[in-house]
Structure 1
């Protein structure tokens, strides 16, 4: 196995403080994804693309400082300056904070998969940082399989969770109940 084997998880960023260091197009892309997940985003950069000024973020127009990490749940470094990206990663590591340096997997405590959303379903594909282009291609191919009826089914199943919790004593019973409903709905 080459490189790390990542533990896949979905993070609830609702209301959590996230720092993005950098103000260019790549930072904009990351900020949009973070905002879509409900994060409270602060962007630190001496210069920002105009689109960032129109988003619901806190803009700090200056260079990165270590104290910018205070109180953050996670951080994304998206600058074109290698020394700044390395410093952000080092500082985050020293604080045991999750950090992603865009397009530099060896400077990441987490990586971001290619994601397709059809709420509440999210399909994520990762190549472990080996090839974002391949991850995007696979995501697009898999996303073509996810149809509106799958999202509708997911919503109906979510509504049944309280019923299952109160009527089935064990995880195994709940799992079998939901597997049966999915098999019935999708054949």
Structure 2
């Protein structure tokens, strides 16, 4: 439901009370968001709304290990299949109120019912929960960026809710520029994190070790684009030898 649909409603934005004139939408652009990555494994997450957007949000939560409960009288066929196979729990009814949020870590409202979306937001806010009402930034205490994900590499693109369409365009462009070589390099560097922590005594030593590999010559990303992973492993091994020698001489 677009933010404009809330014009004239009682404003439930934390920053303002009264009749919504949409100025809070503009005000959000002046306040930076605190960017974080959440670990959802084993955490209860609720999606209210069983349409295509609810499907998208449920799949995103499932991909990160969240325990998903769908609340919706009807649901897309894919959501029904997830429920049949036990991947999600489906409460086949409308949103019932605060009791639906007991023990829940995060809730996403993706319905076409303005009053339901406002109720979800208000109930979640009173419980200091994470809540996102899709496409209504004033009714969110967190927003969902567009994500480019390849292996362990995840790049988030956000316009602070101003233009999801622009974020999607940027996602397409970034997918073309960054991808498998960067993800593979992340894996290779992770393989020597234990060695670095055990061998290089200070944060600065470890920083110089990793930055020397990533920003040095030959370029490890270029080597991986050429399919030469062995050359990258040899590059890392040489850096290990050089930094270990520096430590032994200190």
Task: State TM-score, norm by structure 1.
Answer: 0.95
Given candidates 158, 164, 169, the residue that maps to 2:196 is 164
| Alignment-derived partner of residue 141 in structure 1 | 173
Report what 1:121 is aligned to.
Answer: 153
RMSD between superposed Cα atoms in Å: 1.4
Point out the more displaced range, 160-169 or 99-108. Answer: 160-169
Structure showing the higher helix proportion among its residues: 2
What is the match of residue 103 of structure 1? Answer: 135
Which residue of 2 is the match for residue 57 of structure 1?
88
Match of 2:72 in 1: 45
CA offsets 1:6-47 (integer angstroms, 9 cap, x no match)? 111111111211011111111001111111111110001111
Contact 1:123–1:143 under 8 Å retained in 2: no
**How big is each residue's C-alpha offset from its partner over 1:33-70, in whole Å with a ceiling of 9 and x where there is no partner?**
11111111000111111110112110001111211111
Contact 2:50 2:72 (8 Å CA) reproduced: yes
**Of the two, which has the highest radius of gyration?**
2
Structure-2 separation of matches of 1:139 and 1:2: 25
Distance 1:172 1:128 in 2: 33
Q: Structure 1: 5+ residue runs without aligned partners?
A: none
> Can you give the 5+ residue segments of structure 2 that lack an aligned partner in the other structure?
1-25, 223-250
1:106-162 alpha-carbon deviations (Å, 9 max, x no partner): 000000001111111111100000000000101111111113221111001111111
